[in-house]
């Protein structure tokens, strides 16, 4: 077989980073939710909050472990797959990654031990502090990695000498043009993902009749949190889009499959963009809408793909962007129906429970498709407009990369299956095991159970 090693290296990195992002997306939001549960218990002494914490902290620990191991893989793949990247951009990327390890990784990993297993060994105040530091660490980690990612999209604060990047202003490098939008967008995505996860699992448990003493309360937190955050996310997403239009217009043109520059451009709701013929087949269009959305004028001029020397592949951007929008729409619908229901003073009925459990992993779908849009949208560059992806790839033989790629994909499918299976298992079982808590404590060593 004769595959391009660059394509294989990209698929491998994409497989790994896609698998990885599933878990931090949950833990960043869930860490704050757990801290909230602990705070509520401390304030109100209502046992239900403690049950909620005890149940979800187990899922948090499992999710965190998967995030850690897949994250370590990533830190090595920067070097094994893209050695040229660090050689040319190392002066910029290195310190940002370094500060992530120094300020975030050690913090969350160290205090996680106390958060998970130290409740009987430290005071409530110290335990609260440990839970806070874990949550803070996960968010800080997102801060640094998104600073680097955003810099690769909208580079700033550097000078180029002989193909090498040198730092000129660290504040411009970190707070580069797309960074604030991307960071907010990702943090809100994490909160939404974990909100739908806790609401979905709670709904699933209620339908199955395996709910615990705090399930209804947790579902309420999830639904209300989602209902509050989704309109904010739509707003931030729109601002992020306008920022992209300013700095990476070719990405927007590809997302909307706008082939030619023109005034009063239509918005294509759905269709099949074809790069060979440079047309969109089976297009369903709304006249003037693209101009209206992007320039806020009916006859505003929108740059098409024809005005760029290079542009990212159109089909994946166009489709993934729509997957994200549809998922966001469903999230809005379900969470607002749920919130309206609570506002009327009712508990969710069977149809709402079904909808919530259907949406359990909706955050994953939206987050992944959003990331595919923004990352594929940077191609063929690894640093927008400055360093080509193919220039920095390692020259491993295709067979080597293909072999390890199959290994990784097999491992990830197995782990993902095991993760969802464990979620189901924990969701069914603890309702009973929680009730037996006091007896179990007296029994002999139980390991992590």
162-191 residues in contact with other proteins (CB under 8 A) are: 164, 166-167, 170
380-399 residues in contact with other proteins (CB under 8 A) are: 394-396
Q: C-alpha dihedral over 14, 16, 21, 23, to 10 degrees?
A: 160
CB 194 → other proteins: shortest distance, Å?
18
Contact stretch for other proteins (CB under 8 A) within 120-128, 265-273, 368-376, 377-385: 120-128
The answer to whether residue 119 forms part of the interface with other proteins (CB under 8 A) is yes
The answer to whether residue 246 forms part of the interface with other proteins (CB under 8 A) is no
Q: CA–CA separation, 222 vs 152, rounded Å?
A: 34
Closest to other proteins by CB, 18 or 103: 103
Supply 145's token pair.
Answer: 């990695």
Q: CA–CA separation, 144 vs 148, rounded Å?
A: 7
CB 140 → other proteins: shortest distance, Å?
12
Binding mask 98-117 for other proteins (x = CB under 8 A): xx-xxx-xxx-xxxxxx-xx
250 touches 241 (CB < 8 A): no
Binding mask 402-441 for other proteins (x = CB under 8 A): --x--x---x---x--x--xx--xx--x-------x---x
257-296 residues in contact with other proteins (CB under 8 A) are: none
Closest to other proteins by CB, 76 or 343: 76
The answer to whether residue 11 forms part of the interface with other proteins (CB under 8 A) is no
Closest to other proteins by CB, 61 or 323: 61
Q: Which stretch of DSSP H or E encloses residue 291?
A: helix 289-295
Q: Which of 376, 402, 298, 348 is nearest to 3 (CA)?
A: 402
CB 197 → other proteins: shortest distance, Å?
16
The size of the interface with other proteins (CB under 8 A), counted in residues, is 76
The answer to whether residue 121 forms part of the interface with other proteins (CB under 8 A) is yes
60-99 residues in contact with other proteins (CB under 8 A) are: 61-62, 64-66, 68-73, 75-76, 78-80, 83-84, 86-87, 90-92, 94-95, 97-99
Which residues does 227 contact at the CB level (< 8 Å), separation at least 6? 335, 336, 338, 339
The answer to whether residue 51 forms part of the interface with other proteins (CB under 8 A) is no
Q: How many residues does the chain have?
A: 449
Signed CA dihedral, 122, 124, 126, 130: sign only = positive
Q: Which of 428, 346, 357, 334 is nearest to 55 (CA)?
A: 428
311 touches 254 (CB < 8 A): yes
Q: CA–CA separation, 24 vs 43, rounded Å?
A: 28
């Amino acid at each position: 077989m004769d595959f391009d090693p660059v394509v294989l290296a990209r698929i491998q990195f994409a497989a790994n980073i896609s698998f990885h992002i599933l878990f931090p997306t949950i833990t960043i939001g869930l860490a704050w939710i757990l801290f909230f549960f602990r705070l509520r218990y401390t304030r109100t002494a209502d046992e239900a909050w403690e049950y909620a914490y005890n149940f979800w902290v187990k899922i948090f620990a499992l999710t965190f472990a998967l995030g850690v191991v897949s994250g370590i893989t990533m830190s090595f793949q920067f070097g094994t797959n893209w050695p040229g990247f660090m050689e040319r951009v190392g002066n910029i990327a290195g310190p940002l990654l370094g500060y992530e390890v120094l300020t975030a990784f050690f913090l969350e990993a160290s205090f996680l031990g106390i958060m998970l297993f130290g409740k009987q060994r430290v005071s409530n105040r110290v335990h609260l502090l440990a839970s806070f530091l874990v949550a803070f660490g996960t968010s800080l980690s997102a801060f640094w990695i998104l600073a680097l990612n955003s810099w690769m999209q909208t580079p700033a604060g550097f000078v180029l000498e002989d193909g090498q990047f040198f730092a000129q202003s660290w504040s411009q490098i970190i707070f580069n043009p797309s960074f604030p939008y991307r960071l907010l967008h990702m943090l809100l995505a994490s909160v939404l993902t974990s909100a739908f996860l806790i609401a979905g699992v709670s709904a699933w448990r209620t339908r199955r009749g395996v709910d615990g003493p705090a399930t209804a309360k947790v579902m309420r937190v999830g639904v209300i949190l989602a209902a509050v955050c989704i309109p904010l996310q739509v707003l931030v997403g729109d601002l992020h889009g306008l920022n992209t239009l300013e700095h990476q217009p070719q990405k927007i043109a590809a997302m909307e499959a706008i082939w030619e520059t023109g005034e009063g451009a239509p918005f294509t709701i759905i269709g099949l963009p074809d790069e060979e013929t440079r047309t969109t087949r089976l297009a369903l269009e709304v006249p003037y809408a693209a101009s209206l959305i992007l320039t806020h004028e009916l006859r505003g001029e929108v740059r098409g793909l024809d005005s760029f020397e290079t542009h990212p592949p159109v089909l994946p951007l166009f489709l993934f962007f729509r997957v994200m929008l549809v998922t966001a729409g469903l999230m809005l619908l379900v969470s607002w129906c749920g919130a309206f229901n609570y506002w009327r003073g009712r508990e969710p009925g069977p149809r709402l429970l079904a909808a919530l459990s259907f949406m359990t992993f909706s955050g994953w779908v939206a987050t992944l498709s959003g990331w595919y849009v923004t990352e594929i949208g940077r191609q063929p560059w690894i640093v927008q407009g400055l360093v080509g992806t193919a220039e920095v790839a390692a020259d491993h033989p295709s067979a080597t990369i293909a072999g390890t790629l199959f290994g990784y994909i097999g491992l990830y499918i197995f782990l993902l299956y095991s993760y969802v299976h464990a979620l189901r298992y924990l969701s069914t079982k603890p309702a009973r095991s929680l009730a037996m808590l006091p007896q179990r404590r007296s029994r002999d060593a139980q390991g992590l159970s």
